[in-house]
Amino acid sequence: MTDRLPRSDARENRERILDAARAVFAADGLNVPMREIARRAGVGPATLYRHFPTKEALATEAFADQMRACQAVVEDGLADPDPWRGFRLVIEKICELHARDRGFTSAFISTFPRAMDFAASREHALRSVAELARRAKQTGRLRADFVLDDLILMFMANGGIQAVSPAARVAASRRFAALAIQAFQASPAHSPLPPVARLAVAALP
């Protein structure tokens, strides 16, 4: 006898829990009580623990979803018939994902370092982006002296954006991504930048 698929309401509960967990972990870190996540999801604690017996299990699944989202962005970039457009898409969407993430990835990896094989996923993503960059260079649109470390440095800088609100952080990230794309372009075409966002100036040294 095969196992029956979960009922639709059970699947919906699971998705609501994961949506709430991603939002709470991104905003407040991994120390948020499980009861608060259940409250945000609109389910009882028993329902939450039935789907995710531990916080590690919940955080791992939430992080796995985020990794899948990043991988999907890279695959979409590779699938674009215009490699330069695909390269720009990867920068824009990964920057926005990281801006919405607000440190969840770093907190998860440091708290549960053995929960997942991060290295394999990271190496696969880097190989894919390197291939996309190679194709973009062949079009003459990506500057010839670009190296993958430039992109890693840019993502690290994007992760350090501090703003007065989550929406402002995403807006600042979009502007930063646009600036980075112009810097990576072989012959920069100075197209209009996204709007300026209010930043947390107090965060400066």
Tens-digit pLDDT profile for residues 78-132: 999 999 999 999 999 999 988 887 767 767 776 776 766 777 777 888 899 999 9
Cα 106 from Cα 42, distance rounded (Å): 27
Number of domains in the chain: 2
Q: What is the pTM of this model?
A: 0.76
Q: For residue 2, how many other CB atoms are within 10 A of its CB?
A: 4
CATH number at residue 137: 1.10.357
Q: According to the model, what pLDDT value does residue 163 have?
A: 84
Show pLDDT as tens, one digit a residue, over the chain (205 residues). 344 445 778 889 999 999 899 888 877 788 889 999 999 999 999 999 999 999 999 998 888 888 888 899 999 999 999 999 999 999 999 999 888 877 677 677 767 767 667 777 778 888 999 999 999 999 999 999 999 999 999 998 998 888 888 889 899 999 999 999 999 999 866 667 778 777 765 554 5
Q: According to the model, what pLDDT value does residue 146 have?
A: 94
Say yes or no: 111 and 186 in one domain. yes
Cα 41 from Cα 156, distance rounded (Å): 31
Say yes or no: 186 and 114 in one domain. yes
Say yes or no: 32 and 75 in one domain. no
Look at residue 1 and tell me if it is in a domain: no
Residue 43 is encoded by which pair of tokens?
């389910």
Look at residue 120 and tell me if it is in a domain: yes
Say yes or no: 49 and 148 in one domain. no
Per the structure, the complete domain to which residue 39 belongs is given by 8-53
Look at residue 3 and tell me if it is in a domain: no
Q: For residue 139, how many other CB atoms are within 10 A of its CB?
A: 13
Q: According to the model, what pLDDT value does residue 9 have?
A: 83
Cα 193 from Cα 17, distance rounded (Å): 36
Say yes or no: 70 and 171 in one domain. yes
Say yes or no: 65 and 40 in one domain. no
Cα 201 from Cα 205, distance rounded (Å): 9
* Residue 30 neighbours by CB under 8 Å, 6+ apart: 55, 59, 104, 107, 108, 111
CATH number at residue 27: 1.10.10.60
Q: According to the model, what pLDDT value does residue 28 have?
A: 79
